Structures are given as C-alpha cells and as structure tokens.
C-alpha cells in the first residue's frame, strides 16, 4: 500500500453525553489501572485516596479522559472473571463521576456487560482493546448506549496475541480488519467511533515501528486515531531499559504520533503528553 501524506480526517468531534468534544487539537487519555498486574507499576491503583488523587492530578495536568481498567491486557496476562472486573471498576467509575464530574471517564473493557454497567455508573466512553472480537454482544451494546467507542485492532486475546503477528502487508491488513469492524458498527447505527491501531497487540516491536511510521494511512478510515504507546516494550526493549525508565522515549514517540495525525494520546504521564501536544500544535500553526 503506498502511504502518502494527503489524507484528511473528516470527523473532528465526539458526542459525549450530548456535548461535542472538539478533537481538532489532540486530547490526552490518562491510564488508571485497577489491577495488580499491569505491565507498568506506576499505573496500578487500589480503590483508595491515592487513586483519586492520581485522577485529580491527571485532570489538572490536562487529561480529557480517565481510562479505568480492571483487566490487564499485557501479553500473557492471566484471565480475570467478569465478576472480579466489575468489582474493580464500578466503584471507581462512580467515585470519579462524583468527585470529577467534568472529566470523561472511559471504561477499558472488552466485555459488553462490563461496558454497559460502567456506562450506567457514569462512564462516557467505551475503550475496547478487542475491537468487538471477544464479545459478540459488544457492538449491539455500543449502538444501544450511544456512547463513543474506541475500536482497537487485535488478533486473538491477551493470552494468544503474541503468536498471531504474521502479516503480508501489516498496515494495510490492520486497516482492512478495522474497516470490517467499523462497517458492522455503522450498520448498527453507531456514530462516534475512534480507531486504535493496537500497538503491541498482535504486533512485534519492528511491526510497531513500521505501523507508527505509516500512521497517516489510518486517516483512510476517516475517524479520529488514538495512539497508545506509553511505556510499552517497543520503547524500553529498544532502548534496553525498564518500563519505569521509558518516559523520555514515550514522549519522543508520542511526538511522532502527533506529527502523523494522532487525535488522542493514551498515556501514563499526562503532563508530558500535554506538553508534547502544545509544542506540536505550535509547530503546526507556523
């Protein structure tokens, strides 16, 4: 597939609870993992004052979204029963809506029932790492709820995805697979959809860099693009460091993603992502 820097995203807004969110300036999604085994220790929290303080900090530093997850999707992560996931995330969603009513809470789940209950508890966005492939009810649920949906590319599941990274034409195939899912959503009437190429999900390190280099191609889908590369192994393995040391590398690659059209950055470190957005916007305005 020839990649040319000529594509234009036609949709620059999301309808969140009846309010239009402008994405012409990129936004930040802060990660709040309510799990004991997220790959980055700094993003793990119990339901406590520390968690709420971290959420406050994210908002103060510029986060538009707080992404709450109760199921670790790192490679080879253990499966978590739905009941446990619900016990982890619902109190947090309710707490955030009570104390940070202006923040948009995103529920990071591939389960339709978890998504539905989280939205009923106050979540405004569904962030599905499986892109509807792991729960047959997800797309119907998204359409009925009428909330924005992040459609991520994944093959397999967190336990099997590392073995499913064989592509003839990586970027073209990822776009085609996202397009097939996007069509299903559109047929059901879902409107506010964000696409996520799925860095690290059924892609190895070299493939992640290839896809980032060709990120402009995802504008063919005519949807805002979310990029989640924060502190991932494509950074720390390449630099031969640990995830805890990968903030500078994250900022570098987030800057590349912004220059190539990313509309949302999903990150563990909000202030640095907000600064990257401000600097890139200043550059683009000249």
pLDDT tens digits, one per residue of 207-263: 999 999 999 999 999 999 999 999 999 999 999 999 999 999 999 999 999 999 999
The active-site residue out of 266, 271, 278, 284 is: 266
Position 101 pLDDT exceeds 60:
yes
Q: Answer whether 181's CB lies under 8 Å from 197's CB.
A: no
Interacting residues of 271 by C-beta distance below 8 A, sequence separation 6+: 61, 62
Top mean pLDDT of 61-65, 72-76, 94-98, 161-165 is at 61-65
Residue 266 appears among annotated catalytic residues = yes
- For 114-162, write each residue's pLDDT tens digit: 999 999 999 999 999 999 999 999 999 999 999 999 999 999 888 889 8
CATH of the domain at 137: 3.20.20.20
Residue 107 in domain: yes
Q: What is the pTM of this model?
A: 0.91
Q: Residue 46 — pLDDT band, cuts 50, 70, 90?
A: low
Instruction: Let me know if residue 21 belongs to a domain.
Output: no
Q: Which range marks the domain in which residue 119 is found? A: 26-280
- Flag whether 16 is in a domain: no
pLDDT for 9 beyond 80: no
Q: What average pLDDT does the chain have? A: 90
Asked about 155 being catalytic, the answer comes back as no
In a domain, 271, yes or no: yes
174 within some domain? yes
Q: How many domains does the chain have?
A: 1
Do the domain assignments include residue 14? no
Query: 232, 271, 278, 286: which one is catalytic?
Result: 232
For 204, phi and psi rounded to 5 degrees? -85, 180
Whether the predicted pLDDT of 7 surpasses 70: no
């Amino acid at each position: 597939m020839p990649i040319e820097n000529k594509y234009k995203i036609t949709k620059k807004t999301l309808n969140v609870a009846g309010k239009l969110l402008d994405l012409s300036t990129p936004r930040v999604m802060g990660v709040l993992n309510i799990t004991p085994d997220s790959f980055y220790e700094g993003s793990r929290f119990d339901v406590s004052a520390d968690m709420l303080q971290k959420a406050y900090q994210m908002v103060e530093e510029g986060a538009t979204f707080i992404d709450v997850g109760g199921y670790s999707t790192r490679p080879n992560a253990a499966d978590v029963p739905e009941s446990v996931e619900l016990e982890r995330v619902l109190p947090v969603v309710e707490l955030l809506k009570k104390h940070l009513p202006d923040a948009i809470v995103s529920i990071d789940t591939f389960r339709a029932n978890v998504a539905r209950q989280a939205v009923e508890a106050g979540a405004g966005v569904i962030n599905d790492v499986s892109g509807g492939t792991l729960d047959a009810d997800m797309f119907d649920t998204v359409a009925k709820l009428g909330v924005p949906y992040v459609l991520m590319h994944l093959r397999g599941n967190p336990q099997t995805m590392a073995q499913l990274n064989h592509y003839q034409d990586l970027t073209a195939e990822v776009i085609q697979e996202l397009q097939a899912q996007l069509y299903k959503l559109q047929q059901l009437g879902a409107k506010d959809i964000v696409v996520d190429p799925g860095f690290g999900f059924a892609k190895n390190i070299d493939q992640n860099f290839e896809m980032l280099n060709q990120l402009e191609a995802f504008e063919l889908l005519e949807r805002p693009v979310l990029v989640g590369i924060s502190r991932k192994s494509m950074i720390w393995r390449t630099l031969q460091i640990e995830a805890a040391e990968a903030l500078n590398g994250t900022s570098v690659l987030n800057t590349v993603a912004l220059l190539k059209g990313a509309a949302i950055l999903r990150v563990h470190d909000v202030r640095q992502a907000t600064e990257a957005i401000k600097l890139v916007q200043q550059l683009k305005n000249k």
